[in-house]
Structure 1
Amino acid sequence: MRIISGKSKGKKIIEPKDFNTRPLKDLTKESIFNIIAHSNKFNIELEGSKVLDLFSGVGSFGLECLSRGSTNVEFVENYKNVLPILRKNISTLNYQNNTLIIENDIFNQLNFNIFMNKFDIIFIDPPYKEKNLSKLIMNIFEAKVLNRNGIIIIHRHKKEKEEFPDKLNIIEEKTYGISRVIFGNFF
């Protein structure tokens, strides 16, 4: 796994040794960033953006954002075996001043009002078995942590078909191999 583009292009990202974390594949990650850069359905600039990376794992998505010019990424992760890898990846790429790691279970312990920023991009990449995304999306909506022109990107298994709250406007949906990526917002 590597950084695909930007100032850290080509640098390796350490992957977990166990199978409890499912890192975002380079092909899917590259496709997501191509859509962000070229879609005429929404207008997001990575340069200067603030990003919330939920279920961040080793930080592949958020680190790619920083490499491409995001100013700040807040990583939320609660799996103790992957947190040292996330910290090492941030340190190796020298992004300590642009990141915050929140060690919490996004469903049980995190109040969305703790975030200091409003975000331009919120990336949600939960375990495929996770079925409680509607509650999470409503928490994001109610806390008003997504900027007016911001987008939510949800990464799921292509066979998973969730019911999302009516508040989430699905802008675009793409399938890559076994993955499905949903782009949405609240406006």
Structure 2
Amino acid sequence: MRIISGNFKRKKILEPKDQITRPLKDLTKESIFNIIYHSKKFDIQLKDSNILDLFSGVGSFGLECLSRGSSSLTFVENYKEVLMVLKKNISLLECDDKSTVIEKDIFNRLNFNDFKKKFEIIFLDPPFKEERLALLLNLISDSNILKDNGIIILHRHKNENDNFPENFKVIEQKIYGVSKIIFGNYS
């Protein structure tokens, strides 16, 4: 795995050693950033933005955002096997000053109302079998942590048929290989 573009372009990041974690593939990541930069359906600037990366894994998406000029990244991960790799990747790219790692279970121990800032982008890359996305999206909506013009990006298996809350609006949806990328916000 590597950083695709920006200040850390071509730098490798460490991958997990286990078979449970599903790292974001470079092609999928590149597709996400192409949509962010070129979509006419929303206007998000990565430069100087605050990003929340839920189910961060080894940090591939968040580190790519930092490489492209985001001002801060909040990583949320609780799987001990990848937390060490995430922290090493942040350190290897010398992003400690722009990164916060929260080691909590998103559904049980994380209080979204505790965030001190609002985010332009919230990235969700849960395990493909995770069925509580509507609950998570409602937690995000109720806590009001997404900026008014902000977007939520969901990475799902292409065959998943998720039910979203009524106030969640799908802006754009693309399929790449086994991945479905959903861009949305709250209307």
What is the TM-score normalised by the length of structure 2?
Answer: 0.99
Number of aligned residues: 187
Measure, in 1, the Cα distance between the counterparts of 2:170 and 2:36: 14
Counterpart of 2:81 in 1: which secondary structure? Answer: coil
Measure, in 2, the Cα distance between the counterparts of 1:40 and 1:71: 23
2:14 aligned with 1:8: no
Unaligned segments of structure 1, at least 5 residues: none
Unaligned segments of structure 2, at least 5 residues: none
Paired residue for 1:124? 124
Counterpart of 2:172 in 1: which secondary structure? Answer: strand
Q: What letter is aligned with 2:103?
A: E
Counterpart of 2:91 in 1: which secondary structure? Answer: helix
TM-superposition CA deviations, 1:51-83 (whole Å, max 9, x none) = 000000000000000000000000000000110
Paired residue for 1:160? 160
- Map 1:22-41 to 2 at 5 A: 22-41=22-41
Runs of 4+ in 1 over 6 A off after TM superposition: none
Measure, in 2, the Cα distance between the counterparts of 1:105 and 1:167: 25
Q: Percent identity?
A: 63
Counterpart of 2:16 in 1: which secondary structure? Answer: coil
Paired residue for 1:103? 103
Counterpart of 1:174 in 2: which secondary structure? Answer: strand
Counterpart of 1:160 in 2: which secondary structure? Answer: coil
Measure, in 2, the Cα distance between the counterparts of 1:120 and 1:185: 10
Q: What letter is aligned with 1:54?
A: L
Counterpart of 1:81 in 2: which secondary structure? Answer: helix
Give 1:20 deviation, angstroms: 1.2
Paired residue for 1:85? 85
Measure, in 1, the Cα distance between the counterparts of 2:167 and 2:156: 19
Give 1:114 deviation, angstroms: 1.3
